[in-house]
Amino acid sequence: MPNSNCKRMNKIIKLVIFSCLLIVNQAFTQGKSELISFSQLEEMLNEESDNVYIVNFWATWCGPCLAELPAIQRFYEKNTDSTVKLLLVSFDFPNEIKKVNKFIERKNLKPKVYLISDTDQNAFIDKVSKNWQGTIPATWFVNNHKNKKILIEKPLNEEEINRYLNEIK
């Protein structure tokens, strides 16, 4: 009897520790950006799922991108469709990650932010779209399930985000 009690206690302790770790982990990752290579990003978008992705290419130094951000935030906050995933992919240099994290905190940015780690842009710009000249902001609407992809090379408002999303859904 005392033995089984001990086992139960052990289980509870383990559970508590696990939950604590989870909470701590969440607290640490929230508001933190991560480095991502273009091929990792592609892999994520190509995962077998019903997910539809909206990838916004931006940077903290890009004026028109910052002007567009509130619309992106509003879209993100209003979005109730769990299969629609919005990602912010920044072209800030990887060594500026702290600056980007501070920016995320200051602006209370909710979507997940990645910093692109690739240095050869010529190699991946065409993989996103032959039509993309490399100007940001640019937004990539990806529905891999239906093999639909659209790249829009201009700042978008909420209505436009919804419109392009519907085009690929």
Partner 1 sequence: MKNTILTLLMMTSLIAFNSKSIQSQVPGYKIGEAVDDFNLKNIDGNIVSLASLNTNGAIVIFTCNHCPYAKAYESRIIDLDRKYKSLGYPVVAINPNSVGQNGEDSPDENKIMANDKGFNFPYLKDEKQEVTNAFGAKRTPTAYVLKKENGKFILKYAGAIDDNSQSAESATKKYVELAIGELLIGKSVTITNSKSIGCGIKFKNV
Site for partner 1 in 2-61 (CB under 8 A): 59, 61
Residue identified by tokens 């209003």 is 78
Closer residue to partner 1 (CB): 152 or 165: 152
Q: Does 70 bind partner 1 (CB under 8 A)?
A: no
β pairing state of 112-116 and 84-90: parallel
Number of Cβ within a 10 Å radius of residue 140 = 22
Q: Which of 36, 92, 100, 112 binds partner 1 (CB under 8 A)?
A: 92
Closer residue to partner 1 (CB): 3 or 95: 95
Q: Which residues contact 129 (CB under 8 A, 6 or more apart)?
A: 140, 149, 151
Q: Does 62 bind partner 1 (CB under 8 A)?
A: yes
Q: Does 123 bind partner 1 (CB under 8 A)?
A: yes
Nearest to 129 by CA among 154, 149, 156, 155: 149
Nearest to 146 by CA among 42, 51, 11, 41: 51
Closer residue to partner 1 (CB): 64 or 70: 64
| Contact (Cβ atoms closer than 8 angstroms) between residue 152 and residue 139 | yes
Closer residue to partner 1 (CB): 90 or 143: 90
Rg (CA), the chain: 19
Closer residue to partner 1 (CB): 39 or 121: 121
Q: Which of 43, 77, 126, 159 binds partner 1 (CB under 8 A)?
A: 126
Counting residues that bind partner 1 (by CB under 8 A) gives 23
Rounded to a whole number of angstroms, the minimum distance from the CB of residue 129 to partner 1 is 11
